[in-house]
């Protein structure tokens, strides 16, 4: 259907908005909001109805809703003061009050175009989990083929950055030969997770596959096997591993896609994912680029909680790694951006994570723990939150609990961009427990890991000195100082404020040995 009001032409079939004949770029959620209001212009549309239609019932902040309404008004030449077209009914909802002329949809002049190259759901990445194919007719296979995708949908829905289609819609697609183009057209998702399962008396076998719906390409797959007697434990393990893998794989794909786009055409989510890829380079120039991309995302979408959290992460890097001269100002900005993200979405695990880490910059390790615990409660398979808690626990002197948590983080996400830090914490846990040989072994692995920065190399230097290999320690110290001139004891202890007296006393002695 086409609707015309004043100079505006709103085409729902083509999802196009023009004003005075010129196209007006509109984000998908904003377009959907306008369509909802225009098609129901005879009545008030409640906030609950908007949340159900636009956010599929997900809890979002008032700021996020206000941001979409503001963008909708701007797109059609309205504003919050005049409210000529979209009128606010305080505490209740909104109504479209402009004079609308419905027009018949124009006949197609050519066959329907191929599916768009980009995901069709609003902004953030979107996924449908299909029922798995049961191999064989056994009841165990049939039950697992239904139960496991249901578990995955429930857990994926806890990831605030991913739009997950409800079971009632995705389970309409069954069978081993699903057409991904049909899934994309019907559910408007960019990704599809499917699989097959076979359970008999002796073994359980499962294959899981993640595909892009635009081209049907497989972007990740994994095979699992186990004993059928442990089926419930295996279900939990598979869910845990799949969630961790998707948290890593999908953002990488989104970042690669964003790099191919013109900078002027980036939407908020594309800028966010591209910023994350720069953030995890752990270099001053890359971190500055990341911060600019997060700021661009916030210009496009001021209510974007995760972009505020990511900006906090960038400021944290500036302070923690000494990328800027004014470390105190960077620490304040890290806390402020974290608070802004939490105000918009207090249930986002990433927002809670960066809030917790901001306390590290003020040497308040204990104050970080409730926020990190909350991040893990919101997303039990969140590897970075578990790693962050391990970091704080270890520096507070609890090496055994820190070791247990960092091992869990590495199991959840062995290819994590922060794996070098996880291995560094493992080394610290051995330092706290006075196990120098083990500390040196893990510190060596940490320093050789992708993304390892100068502080990680200095951990390796100290660990080797404590283990008696002074020459290797000096080589790592020279490499660290070549990357970060002047890196010394004070800066090391500022970054890693050990509370354990014995561990803290060993570090100055190691620095003295390095200086001889």
- HEC string for 332-387: HHHHHHHHHHHHHCCCCHHHHHHHHHHCHHHCCHHHHHHHHHHHHHHCCCCHHHHH
Q: Is residue 111 part of a domain?
A: no
pLDDT at 455: 94
CA of 252: how far to CAs of 255, 258, 285, 504, in Å?
A: 5, 10, 20, 38
Both tokens of residue 493?
């202890």
Provide the 3-class DSSP secondary structure of residue 118: coil
If one counts the domains in the chain, the total is 4
Asked if 142 and 88 sit in the same domain, the reply is no
Q: Is residue 133 part of a domain?
A: yes
Both tokens of residue 324?
């800027």
CA angle, corner 59, sides to 58 and 60, nearest 5? 110
Give the residue among 88, 90, 205 at the shortest CA–CA distance from 140.
Answer: 205
Asked if 154 and 275 sit in the same domain, the reply is no
Q: Please tell me the distance from the alpha carbon of residue 378 to that of residue 125, in angstroms, as a whole number.
A: 19
Residue with tokens 């089926």: 231
Q: Is residue 239 part of a domain?
A: yes
* Virtual torsion, Cα 78, 83, 87, 91, nearest 10 deg: 110
Is there a contact between 191 and 119 (Cβ–Cβ < 8 Å)? Answer: yes
CA angle, corner 240, sides to 237 and 244, nearest 5? 140
Burial class (CB in 10 A: 0-12, 13-18, 19+), 217: exposed
> β-strands 45-46, 8-11: how paired?
unpaired
pTM metric for this prediction: 0.66
Q: Please tell me the distance from the alpha carbon of residue 203 to that of residue 310, in angstroms, as a whole number.
A: 43
**Beta-bridge partners for 149:** none
CA 447, chain centre distance (Å): 25
CATH code (residue 346): 1.25.40.10
Of all helices (H) and strands (E), which one includes residue 427? helix 419-432
**Maximum Cα–Cα distance across the chain:** 85
Of all helices (H) and strands (E), which one includes residue 94? strand 93-96
Asked if 193 and 277 sit in the same domain, the reply is no
Burial class (CB in 10 A: 0-12, 13-18, 19+), 205: middle
Instruction: Among 257, 272, 293, give the residue marking a domain's end.
Output: 257
* Virtual torsion, Cα 302, 304, 305, 308, nearest 10 deg: -60
Is there a contact between 239 and 149 (Cβ–Cβ < 8 Å)? Answer: no
Asked if 354 and 460 sit in the same domain, the reply is no
Q: Please tell me the distance from the alpha carbon of residue 306 to that of residue 119, in angstroms, as a whole number.
A: 19
Of all helices (H) and strands (E), which one includes residue 211? strand 204-212
Asked if 493 and 413 sit in the same domain, the reply is yes
How many Cα atoms within 13 Å fall on the side-chain side of residue 196? 8
Q: What is the CA radius of gyration of the chain?
A: 26
CA of 67: how far to CAs of 13, 132, 243, 278, 296, in Å?
A: 25, 39, 30, 27, 15
Count of residues making up the chain: 516
Both tokens of residue 308?
């505020």
Asked if 275 and 253 sit in the same domain, the reply is no
Both tokens of residue 299?
């210009």
Asked if 195 and 96 sit in the same domain, the reply is no
Q: Please tell me the distance from the alpha carbon of residue 392 to that of residue 357, in angstroms, as a whole number.
A: 9
Host domain of residue 136: 126-257
Both tokens of residue 235?
């279900």
pLDDT at 186: 84
Asked if 157 and 176 sit in the same domain, the reply is yes
CATH code (residue 53): 1.10.10.10
**Beta-bridge partners for 133:** 196
Provide the 3-class DSSP secondary structure of residue 62: helix
Both tokens of residue 179?
């057409």
pLDDT at 492: 93
Asked if 245 and 298 sit in the same domain, the reply is no
Q: Please tell me the distance from the alpha carbon of residue 488 to that of residue 512, in angstroms, as a whole number.
A: 10
CATH code (residue 418): 1.25.40
Residue with tokens 């056994």: 138
Q: Is residue 401 part of a domain?
A: no
Q: Is residue 387 part of a domain?
A: no
Residue with tokens 């820190």: 402
Asked if 204 and 137 sit in the same domain, the reply is yes
Q: Is residue 501 part of a domain?
A: yes
490: Cβ–Cβ under 8 A, 6 or more apart, which residues? none
CATH code (residue 177): 3.40.50.10070
Q: Please tell me the distance from the alpha carbon of residue 473 to that of residue 476, in angstroms, as a whole number.
A: 5
Asked if 249 and 267 sit in the same domain, the reply is no
Q: Is residue 121 part of a domain?
A: no
Q: Is residue 283 part of a domain?
A: yes
CA angle, corner 346, sides to 344 and 352, nearest 5? 115
pLDDT at 112: 40
* Virtual torsion, Cα 192, 198, 202, 204, nearest 10 deg: 10
Walk along the chain (516 residues) and give the pLDDT tens digit of each residue.
Answer: 788 998 999 988 778 889 888 888 888 788 888 988 998 888 888 887 888 777 765 666 777 788 889 989 999 999 888 899 999 988 888 999 988 888 755 444 433 443 344 434 556 788 999 988 887 656 667 777 778 888 888 888 877 788 888 877 888 887 667 788 888 888 888 889 988 887 777 777 888 888 888 877 788 888 877 776 666 677 777 788 788 888 878 887 888 777 776 667 788 888 898 898 888 888 889 999 999 999 999 999 999 999 999 999 999 999 998 899 899 999 999 999 999 999 999 999 999 999 999 999 999 999 999 999 999 998 887 888 999 999 999 999 999 999 999 999 988 887 788 899 999 999 999 999 999 999 999 999 999 998 899 999 999 999 999 999 999 999 999 999 998 888 999 999 999 999 989 888 999 999 999 988
Both tokens of residue 34?
């306008």
Give the residue among 72, 84, 81 at the shortest CA–CA distance from 37.
Answer: 72
Instruction: Among 335, 364, 380, give the residue marking a domain's end.
Output: 380
Asked if 253 and 265 sit in the same domain, the reply is no
pLDDT at 515: 87
């Amino acid at each position: 259907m086409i609707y015309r009001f004043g100079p505006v032409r709103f085409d729902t079939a083509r999802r196009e908005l023009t004003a005075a004949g010129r196209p007006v770029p509109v984000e998908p959620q904003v377009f959907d909001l306008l369509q909802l209001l225009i098609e129901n212009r005879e009545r008030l549309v409640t906030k609950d109805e908007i949340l159900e239609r636009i956010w599929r019932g997900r809890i979002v902040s008032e700021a996020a809703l206000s941001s979409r309404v503001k963008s909708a008004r701007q797109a059609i030449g309205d504003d919050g003061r005049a409210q000529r077209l979209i009128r606010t009914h305080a505490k209740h909802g909104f109504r479209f009050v402009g004079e609308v002329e419905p027009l018949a949809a124009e006949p197609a002049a050519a066959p329907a175009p191929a599916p768009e190259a980009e995901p069709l759901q609003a902004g953030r990445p979107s996924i449908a989990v299909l029922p798995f194919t049961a191999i064989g007719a056994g009841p165990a296979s049939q039950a697992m083929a239904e139960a496991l995708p249901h578990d995955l949908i429930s857990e994926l829905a806890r990831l605030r950055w991913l739009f997950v289609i409800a079971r009632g819609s995705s389970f309409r697609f069954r069978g081993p030969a699903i057409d991904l183009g049909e899934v994309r057209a019907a559910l408007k998702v960019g990704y599809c997770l499917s699989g097959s399962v076979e359970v008999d008396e002796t073994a359980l076998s499962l294959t899981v596959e993640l595909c892009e719906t635009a081209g049907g390409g497989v972007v990740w797959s994994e095979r699992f096997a186990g004993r059928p007697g442990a089926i419930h434990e295996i279900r939990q393990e598979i869910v845990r591993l799949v969630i961790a893998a998707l948290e890593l794989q999908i953002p990488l794909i989104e970042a690669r896609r964003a790099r191919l786009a013109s900078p002027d055409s980036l939407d908020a989510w594309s800028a966010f994912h591209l910023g994350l890829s720069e953030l995890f380079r752990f270099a001053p120039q890359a971190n500055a680029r990341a911060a600019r991309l997060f700021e661009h995302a916030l210009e496009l979408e001021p209510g974007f909680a995760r972009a505020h959290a990511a900006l906090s992460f960038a400021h944290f890097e500036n302070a923690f790694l000494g990328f800027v001269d004014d470390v105190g100002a960077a620490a304040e900005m890290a806390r402020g951006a974290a608070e802004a993200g939490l105000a918009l979405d207090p249930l986002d695990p990433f927002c809670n994570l960066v809030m917790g880490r901001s306390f590290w910059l003020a040497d308040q390790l204990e104050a970080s723990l409730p926020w990190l615990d909350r991040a893990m409660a919101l997303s039990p398979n969140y590897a970075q939150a578990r790693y962050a808690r391990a970091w704080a626990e270890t520096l507070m002197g609890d090496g055994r609990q820190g070791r247990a948590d960092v091992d869990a983080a590495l199991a959840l996400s062995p290819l994590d961009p922060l794996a070098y830090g996880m291995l560094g914490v493992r080394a610290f846990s051995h330092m706290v427990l006075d196990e120098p040989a083990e500390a040196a072994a893990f510190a060596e692995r940490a320093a050789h890991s992708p993304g390892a920065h100068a502080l990680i190399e200095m951990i390796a230097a100290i660990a080797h000195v404590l283990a008696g290999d002074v020459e290797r320690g000096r080589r790592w110290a020279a490499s660290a100082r070549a990357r970060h001139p002047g890196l010394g004891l004070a800066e090391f202890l500022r970054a890693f404020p050990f509370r354990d007296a014995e561990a803290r006393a060993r570090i100055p002695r190691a620095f003295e040995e390095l200086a001889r």
